[in-house]
Copies of this chain bind each other. A is one copy, B any other.
Amino acid sequence: MSSSALERPLTVVLLGGGTVGSSVARLLLGNARDIEERVGAPVHLQSVAVRDVDRARPGVPAELLTADAASAAASGADIVVELIGGIEPARTLILSAMAAGSSVVTANKALLAADGATLYEAAARYGVDLYFEAAVAGAIPLLRPLRESLAGDKVTAVLGIVNGTTNYILTRMDEEGADYAQVLADAQALGYAEADPTADVEGFDAAAKAAILAELAFHTRVTLDDVHCEGISHVTADDIRAAQQMGFVIKLLAVAERNDRGVIVRVHPAMLPRDHPLASVRGAFNAVFVEAESAGEVMFYGRGAGGDPTASAVLGDLVTAARNRVSGGRGPGESTYSNLPVLPVGDAITRYYVNLAVADKPGVLASIATAFSDNDVSIQVVRQDGHGDEASLVVRTHLATDADLQRTVQQLKELDTVRQVLGVMRVEGEAGE
């Protein structure tokens, strides 16, 4: 980039001085020479807005700290990096930064999932960049490939493992045959799960990321409210065992899919064949699997969280936004031009696993098969195990709509021959039909 005309330093303001913010500041100061080469101009950290200016932050010079986030955001710096999180005041700060002509880098998944379109529109209106690679799957370069590398293709589906806590729990349940509650307690003790794990284990964190992924992949407006969300707290050791017996592994998946009529976005535990590329994503790792018409299957894998990986993603965005300033342009903006309707989850078409505790008497299988066929759900495999009070029946279906399957389960619950519905789970990632 030595041919660049712009020789003045570029200015950067950080909003937020937590783990990621401090890490970004340190990398920015520590790698200044490399960053200058890559940007084509020096990058100057102007200020870091924090709540408590008196707290020491290793590697961040105290004289850069300010408590006045509003003034810092509106200072007209070349780039404003928002790492405060949450809806407000983050949204107001970002919009005032854009209005002052600053490009914005953010890791704020909550805000993007709630109101991304407002930010995209503001970025277009003010002619500034908005980058947010760190908002989904931490350090994995994912959003930019989705919006740039696949820009000439048509994405049909996105399947992601985008929450490290639940993947850690499910991986340990799979490896140890342990119960959910037991592994969760252990994960909390080790710091892999929060004291209040609700946002992770109930799928809300994954749902926010699913909304962002769907919006980028399909160029249409999707918010958190559009996402059907089920967590992993009902996954049992029995489900894990049944999955293993069938050659599957259970993952919390974020699924965004597009059909002729619109898009469906959902987060729920699902069974995946063990030879699916997502099946080997273990522990706290994240991965996102993309199906596109021409590109075929593409997967991105890496660390989904942590200060340094997230800081790496923020810094990548920052360097790109800075290069755009130097070259006098702006990167590709987001758009929601497709205006596709968001369809109810009942329209989703997948295979299912159903595990039933049944009476041990003749005619059981016939009555159960009838419940499936009454609702247009075709059975692929059925296996009977045990006898007496231990008798159970595991069914795997062919492709069916979620609505038809829910009706089937309702009908199964009312049968005399079914003592209990032990487990129902979607099966994803199987080829063909």
Chain A contacts to B: CB under 8 angstroms = 1-3, 23, 27-28, 31, 34-35, 37-38, 124-125, 127, 133, 139-141, 144-145, 148-154, 219, 275, 277, 280, 282, 287, 292-303, 306, 308-309, 311-320, 323-324, 327-333, 335, 337-338
Contact = CB atoms under 8 A, between A and B. Distances in A.
Contacts of A337: 2, 37
B302 A315 contact: no
Contact of A311 (B140, B282, B287, B294): B294
A141 B150 contact: yes
9 closest A-B pairs by CB: A329-B329, A152-B315, A141-B149, A141-B145, A294-B312, A139-B295, A298-B302, A151-B319, A299-B301
17 contacts: A2-B337, A27-B153, A34-B154, A37-B335, A37-B338, A38-B335, A144-B148, A148-B319, A151-B323, A152-B316, A152-B319, A275-B282, A294-B311, A295-B308, A295-B313, A327-B331, A329-B330
A116 to B, nearest CB: 16
B152 A318 contact: yes
Main secondary structure on A side of the interface with B: mixed
A315 B150 CA distance: 8
A141 B296 CA distance: 12
A302 B312 contact: no
Given A141-B298, A335-B38, A153 B315 contact: yes
B125 A3 contact: yes
Given A297-B302, A327-B330, 16 more contacts: A1-B124, A2-B335, A3-B124, A38-B151, A38-B332, A141-B298, A149-B317, A153-B315, A275-B280, A292-B312, A295-B313, A296-B308, A299-B300, A320-B332, A323-B331, A327-B332
A150 B316 contact: yes
Contacts of A296: 139, 302-303, 306, 308-309
